[in-house]
Structure 1
């Protein structure tokens, strides 16, 4: 080996060791940086004209477990899905209230029931008749408040869908721009590790909204598809379409055109069912809240409201057939074909409500009574109480068919809400635990700062060894110079 070759080898060693030290220090500094992947410097023998010329840096690679990364992203999407569902179902349970809550539906029903019993025992008491009217309106108010809260939850989900779609479109455009830069920089032989880190972080953001599959392409390019197969990034970024609304009413559905669905590059896609490509993340869960969970909860409230109307219909001999009974649909008779949203439209019959120009004695003597009857006649009040507590078949499809009292029906609504909330929270806990486990495993396979520091110590020795070679070569050259002199 010539002196020149020895010097070139030592200098290449110093250069390679410096590059390795730079990468190791970057690994340690970014040990907790989201999206940062551990770097490794690839080294190879430098050969010139068939002779060794030291070492050369072949490139910098990112140490990423693709399978683990994909599993973590799926778990991340699942966690977002379960969080949204559990949050809504907990809200529904709180809206309906538990039995020990004085403002719950069960408590309002119990107060109405008691008022009817007490008034039937003392039909001449104006105070007890007033209690019947007051507790009936409180029950109506509870159903209306629950309806309002559920529709507000639908409107909130609709707004959040718009926000998530906006975030998706923005992030996909950023990914497209990164792909363009990566193609250019990779072709020029530049280090693209930082760009790859940024791209991984952006894909992680998307995977929380919609679970995705990442497909590698040449020159460090990627394509993105939803797990359901819809294209998000293939050459260019997809454009996701959605139109939010300002207000949602119980009658509004996506099927009837009142609410927006979703489109990708102008093509509409299902937002529910096995054919939907967006299920599994927060976006699919928000559509489920808006179009399924909230609609189901509202349907049960409307079924209860219909049952309440129909229980008290036909009991009053002073009313004409088909006339509105004690509970009305906005003041008029109920149309069985217009059940959606009934829980928010219930009103006490104006004839028995002093606040609407009616009179309390009609609760005792009949809604169609023109004048007061015998004050001690509690027949109608007793019939009203029997109608409330008696079991009757349900006409609505909001529940499984069967005979129920109104108390049992209300109890079914509350128990169903609690059961769904408990099930959702159980799934939420499982998803959170799975995500935590995969995140921890990913961290374990990531940057070990102790190992990095150990390698840095080895590099220090290598650097010193190459420096000694250079010093030895310098001494030899000095010796040759003196000999020539």
Structure 2
């Protein structure tokens, strides 16, 4: 080998080691960066025209990858985010109104009211006990009112988060377009695209947090993305994701659907619904669990109005009228077994029994609450201070099974107190189930991410060891160049 060829080989070795050092430095710098995959310089030999060795060069940069594990992580992330969003909504409902032990829950407030009513029935002439009944009735009505506001507030919150999610999805798709174009151009021109591939995979992973997605690579490393239901999200250009937020919710009102390129993928009327992701969990809170719990609250309110209804004590030909508990549809009594949306937020105490509003508290005992000037709705016609029949009739009504709307998803033929308790148990059961699902899916994500990191992540110790080996090779090559330089100088001296 001539000295010129040896110098060429040594120079190529120096250039190659510099490139390898740069790759290792990049690995070390990004060791803790989310979505970064370990890079490696692929070195190949150079050959001269006569076939002899002409040195070495970095042929390309590769990255550590495992597409099967990445796909599993994308799917697991979507599933985990479904459960996380759903659990968060359930917990907020439970913490606000769902604990049957605390006085602010409808079940506990109903229990306090029934206890006060039973004590009053033992001493119907005691106005202090009558006042306690009225106070507990007001607390019960206020609890149902507050619970309704809390449910609708949670629906509004879920709707707002859906709007935020759509904004983020559209931003991610726009970012994906830029990175995907970079990958395609780099592939066609032979440039290093490993960093762009990392960014693209990371964007897909972030998209999977919001909805189930499927990614497919085709020619020139171009990628297309669809939802898990098959709706196109990205092909050359991003598809428009649209959602119209509602500023306020009232009981019985429906939220809007989420659309991709005009196709409903979540919410009312979804024709190709996605099955996983944050938007699914939020839709389940907004349109399912919160609506069901509102129905239960409305049925508790209807049960109260019905239990206290007053009947015609005369000829029996007049229609039933509401009593202690009233609502905007009074004086008519709600139909049996049919939910009235928003009744829990509408229920109140009849002013004709409230002394602060000019009413007579003894009407609790005597009747005539809804029609105080119609004697046919008065039960205690003799004005007896010890009259107890009406109170006992109400207590009996509260203990009797009632017909509830089956959409409430609890036993439709329970006594009112049992129905209220079952409602709280249903919500707690939903919370526990969601908590268990969330715990399992979180473990799957963590283990899948760990497995992928073991394959694609950066081990600082390994990178530093490789760096030391390159430094030794670099030193040896530098020493070789120095030796060649000395030999060339000697030749020049001899020739001079």
Deviation at 1:215, TM superposition (A): 1.4
Cα pair distance change 1:365/1:232, threshold 3 Å:
same
Q: Residue by residue, what CA displacement relative to the aligned partner does 1:130-180 show, whole Å, maximum 9, x if unpaired? A: 222211121111112111111100011111100000110111011112222
In the alignment, does 2:326 pair up with 1:328?
Answer: yes
Distance 2:21 2:184 in 1: 27
Work out whether residues 80 and 208 of structure 1, in 8 Å CA contact, stay in contact via their aligned partners in 2: yes
Contact 2:256 2:268 in 1 (8 A): no
Q: Which residue of 1 aligns with 2:453?
A: 443
1:120 is aligned to: 121
Matches within 5 A, 1:227-306: 227-253=228-254, 259-271=255-267, 276-306=272-302
**In structure 1, distance between residues paired with 2:206 and 2:157:** 21
Match of 1:142 in 2: 143
- Number of matched pairs: 480
Does the aligned pair in 1 maintain the 2:144–2:345 contact within 8 Å? yes
> What TM-score comes out, normalization by structure 1 length?
0.92
The residue that corresponds to 1:462 in the other structure is 473
Alignment of 1:120-199 (within 5 A): 120-199=121-200
Indicate conservation of the 8 Å contact 1:316/1:380, yes or no.
no
Which of 309, 315, 321 is 2:305 aligned to?
309
Equivalents in 1 of 2:329, 2:403: separation in Å? 25
Name the counterpart of 1:10. 10
Asked if 1:220 is matched to 2:221, the reply is yes
Counterpart CA distance in 1 for 2:363 and 2:238 is 68
Superimposed CA distance per residue, residues 323-380 of structure 1 (whole angstroms, 9 cap, x where no aligned partner): 2233223261244466112111112233323344432121111123449822221211
Give 1:468 shift.
2.7
| Distance change (3 Å), C-alpha of 1:390 and 1:277 | closer
Following superposition, the deviation at residue 314 of structure 1 comes to 4.6
> What is the aligned partner in structure 2 of residue 432 from structure 1?
442
* Paired residue secondary structure (2:234): strand
What do residues 422-468 of structure 1 show as CA deviations (whole Å, max 9, x unaligned)?
Answer: 11111111111111112222222211111111111211222122223
Aligned CA distance change for structure 1 residues 47 and 450 (closer, same or farther; 3 Å):
same
Q: Secondary structure at the match of 1:130?
A: helix
- Segments of structure 2 that go 5 or more residues without pairing to the other structure are none
Kept after mapping to 2: 8 A contact 1:241/1:264: yes
How large is the Cα RMSD of the aligned pairs?
2.3
In the alignment, structure 1 residue 92 sits paired with structure 2 residue 90? no
Alignment partner of 1:398 out of 408, 412, 416? 408
Moved more, 462-471 or 170-179: 462-471
Residue number among 448, 465, 482 corresponding to 1:471 in the alignment: 482
Measure, in 2, the Cα distance between the counterparts of 1:239 and 1:393. Answer: 47
Greater CA drift, 324-333 or 389-398? 389-398
Shift of residue 86, structure 1, vs aligned partner: 1.0
1:244-279 CA-partner distances (Å, limit 9, x unpaired): 0100111112xxxxx311111223334479964432
Tell me by how many angstroms 1:418 deviates.
1.2
Distance change >3 Å, CA 263–CA 397, structure 1 → 2: closer
SS of alignment partner, residue 404 of structure 1: coil
The whole-number CA distance in structure 2 between the counterparts of 1:432 and 1:111 is: 41
What residue in structure 1 maps to residue 29 of structure 2? 29
Residues 200-225 of structure 1: CA distance to partner in whole angstroms, max 9, x if unpaired? 33222211111222212333332111
Distance 1:468 1:41 in 2: 23
Inter-partner Cα distance in structure 2 for 1:218 and 1:29: 32
Could you say if the C-alpha distance between residues 142 and 391 of structure 1 is closer, same or farther in structure 2, counting changes exceeding 3 Å? Answer: same
The answer as to whether partners of 1:307 and 1:395 remain within 8 angstroms in 2 is: no
Counterparts of residues 334-373 of structure 1 (less than 5 Å) = 334-336=333-335, 339-366=340-367, 367=369, 368-370=371-373, 373=383
Deviates more, 1:319-328 or 1:286-295: 319-328
Q: Secondary structure at the match of 2:408?
A: coil
Indicate conservation of the 8 Å contact 2:302/2:334, yes or no.
Answer: no
Q: Post-superposition shift, 1:108? A: 1.2
Indicate if the aligned counterparts of 1:312 and 1:384 stay in contact, CA closer than 8 A.
Answer: yes
SS at match of 2:209: helix
Unpaired segments ≥5 residues, structure 1: 254-258
Q: Contact (CA 8 Å) 1:27, 1:39: kept in 2 or not?
A: yes
Q: How far does residue 59 in structure 1 lie from its aligned partner after superposition?
A: 1.3
TM-score by length of 2: 0.91
Equivalent residue of 1:49, what SS?
coil
